[in-house]
């Protein structure tokens, strides 16, 4: 065979000198074992044999990492497999494939741990793509991580998910169960796209069917909320009153910054990145709103209207419980029907309509993107309605003042907002 040189009885691997071409030197002690010497001087061992009538080669390893004794032992073991009808080279390839698969499985197992997947999902998907990522993080950590911490996400099946959601429903958190399920479904889809999961958990439906909320506070209830907010104190009392006067969303008001407020022009410029619909919105400020804002404390080092720190206030559950207690106290010990903070926004919309504000002005004032300003209308309708919105909010502030003082009557004569 070309390139193969015979060995001498006392040959030493170190003594084999490289040539201009690659050469193979028989070991001389184990049949078929050769020492491969490259022109560079690199040396390795290999076993040549025949399997199923075909010549085969099994690379054993490089020298000096694998010396003569180890190479001969490996060659003899391979010859033993050959005697049992197995192909040593094929076995080696299969072992490598299995080792790579095991390594990938081990790596995936580390990434697959529920709490790690949640953290990765928040950092790589929720934060860059969603404005309310903190709520997503809260939902997933509170129930998903708390229930399955330490487990692999790939091991979580449909039955596990149903048990989790059922427990949430049973404890009276049906709506939260729906919200958690929605975020868990997003998480699993993301994990599939990243190769963390092989398959999504399809065929699971939301645990409960939600009915759209239609709770609207009547004038008497709105007056009770306004008065109770006055006893609630900073910052939640002022936040609730601004919600009543502007119809803005809770988090938009709570996270308002001084740089957004133009008291001279009496405008609150809500940036697109803080708006739920990601559309910038200029809110005309009625004198009543300006008065509330002017009385707010200023905190050095904080740009927030309602916080001295680096984050806006978030303890709305406790504040709402306190607000409910104050309303009950002012109502002679009788609570009013349950409402949530967001119902105030719906109540403002209803209240604006009740005093004669046109629907398209209400929608613009509340920064709605559906209804009158949806689809093609939003593309061509560029009128700002700034004057109409200012008149609407000022009329609404006067109406709130009247109902709080007990002077309002239902169906006040419609206000004309036509300008020029």
- Name the one residue in this structure whose structure tokens are 């990938």: 104
Cα(238)–Cα(261) distance, rounded to whole angstroms? Answer: 15
Q: In the chain, what percentage of residues exceed pLDDT 90? A: 61
Residue 406 is predicted with a pLDDT of 80
CATH class of the domain whose range is 113-193: mainly alpha
- Give pLDDT, residue 204: 83
Tell me which of 48-62, 194-208, 245-259, 373-387 is least confident. 373-387
Residue 2's pLDDT band (cuts 50, 70, 90): very low
pLDDT value of residue 197: 84
Q: Encoding tokens for residue 277?
A: 């619909």
The residues that bridge with 62 in the sheet, in sequence order, are: 44
pLDDT in tens, 133-172: 888 999 999 999 999 999 988 889 899 999 999 999 888 8
75-132 per-position pLDDT tens digit:
999 999 999 999 999 999 998 898 888 777 666 656 688 999 999 999 999 999 887 8
- Based on C-alpha coordinates, what's the Rg of the chain? 37
* pLDDT value, residue 109: 58
Question: What is the domain partition of the chain in residue ranges?
Answer: 13-97, 113-193, 219-405
Quote the CA–CA distance of 151 and 17 in Å, as a whole number: 57
Domains 13-97 and 113-193 share a fold: no
3-class secondary structure for the chain? CCCECCCCCCCCHHHCCCCCCCEEEECCCCCCEEEEECCCCCEEEEEEEEECCEEEEEEEEEECCCCHHHHHHHHHHHHHHHHCCCCHHHHHHHHHHHHHHHHHHHHHHHHHEHHHHHHHHHHHHHHHHCCCHHHHHHHHHHHHHHHHCCCEHHHCCHHHHHHHHHHHHHCCCHHHHHHHHHHHHHHHHHHHHCCCCCCCCCCCCCCCCCCCCCCCCCHHHHHHHHHHHHHHCCCHHHHHHHHHHHCCCHHHHHCCEHHHEECCCCEEEECHHHCCCCCCEEEECCHHHHHHHHCCCCCCCCCECCCCCCCCCCCHHHHHHHHHHHHHHHCCCCCCCCCCCHHHHHHHHHHHHHCCCCHHHHHHHCCCCCHHHCCHHHHHCCCCCHHHHHHHHHHHHHHHHHHHHCCCCCCCCCCCCCCC
**Banded model confidence at residue 17, pLDDT cuts 50, 70, 90:** confident
- 257: pLDDT strictly greater than 50: yes
Range 219-405 classified under CATH 3.10.129.10: no
Quick one: fold of 13-97? Double Stranded RNA Binding Domain (3.30.160)
| Distance between CA atoms of residues 57 and 61, nearest Å | 12
Angle (CA) 351 353 356, round 5°: 115
**Per-residue confidence at 209, pLDDT binned at 50, 70, 90?**
confident
């Amino acid at each position: 065979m070309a390139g193969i040189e015979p060995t001498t009885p006392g040959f030493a691997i170190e003594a084999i000198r490289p040539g201009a071409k690659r050469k193979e030197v028989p070991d001389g002690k184990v049949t078929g074992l050769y020492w491969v010497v490259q022109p560079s001087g690199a040396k390795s061992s290999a076993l040549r044999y025949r399997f199923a009538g075909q010549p085969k080669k099994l690379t054993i390893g490089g020298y000096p990492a694998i010396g003569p004794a180890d190479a001969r032992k490996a060659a003899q073991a391979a010859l033993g497999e050959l005697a049992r009808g197995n192909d040593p080279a094929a076995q080696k390839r299969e072992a490598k494939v299995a080792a790579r698969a095991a390594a990938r499985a081990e790596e995936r197992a580390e990434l697959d741990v529920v709490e790690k997947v949640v953290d990765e999902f928040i950092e790589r998907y929720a934060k860059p793509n969603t404005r309310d990522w903190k709520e997503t993080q809260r939902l997933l950590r509170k129930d998903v991580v708390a229930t399955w911490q330490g487990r692999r996400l790939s091991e979580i099946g449909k039955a596990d998910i149903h048990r989790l959601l059922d427990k949430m429903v049973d404890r009276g958190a049906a709506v939260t169960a729906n919200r958690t399920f929605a975020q868990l479904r997003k998480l699993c889809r993301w994990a599939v796209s990243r190769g963390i999961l092989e398959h999504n958990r399809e065929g699971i439906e939301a645990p409960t069917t939600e009915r759209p909320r239609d709770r609207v506070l009547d004038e008497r209830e709105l007056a009770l909320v306004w008065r109770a907010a006055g006893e609630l104190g900073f910052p939640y009392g002022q936040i609730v009153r601004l919600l009543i006067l502007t119809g803005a969303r809770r988090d938009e008001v709570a996270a308002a910054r001084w740089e957004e407020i133009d008291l001279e022009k009496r405008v609150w410029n809500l940036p697109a990145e803080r708006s739920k619909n990601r559309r910038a919105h200029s809110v005309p400020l009625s004198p009543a709103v300006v008065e509330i804002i002017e009385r707010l404390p200023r905190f050095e080092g904080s740009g927030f209207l309602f916080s001295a720190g680096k984050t806006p206030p978030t303890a709305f559950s406790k504040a709402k419980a306190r607000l409910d207690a104050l309303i009950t106290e002012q109502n002679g010990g009788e609570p009013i029907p349950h409402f949530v903070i967001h119902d105030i926004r719906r109540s403002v919309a209803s209240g604006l309509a009740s005093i004669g504000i046109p629907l398209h002005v209400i929608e613009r004032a509340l920064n709605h993107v559906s209804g009158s300003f949806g689809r093609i209308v939003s593309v061509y309708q560029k009128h700002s309605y700034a004057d109409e919105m200012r008149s609407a909010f000022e009329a609404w502030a006067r109406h709130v003042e009247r109902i709080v003082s007990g002077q309002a009557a239902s169906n006040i004569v419609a206000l004309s907002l036509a300008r020029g």
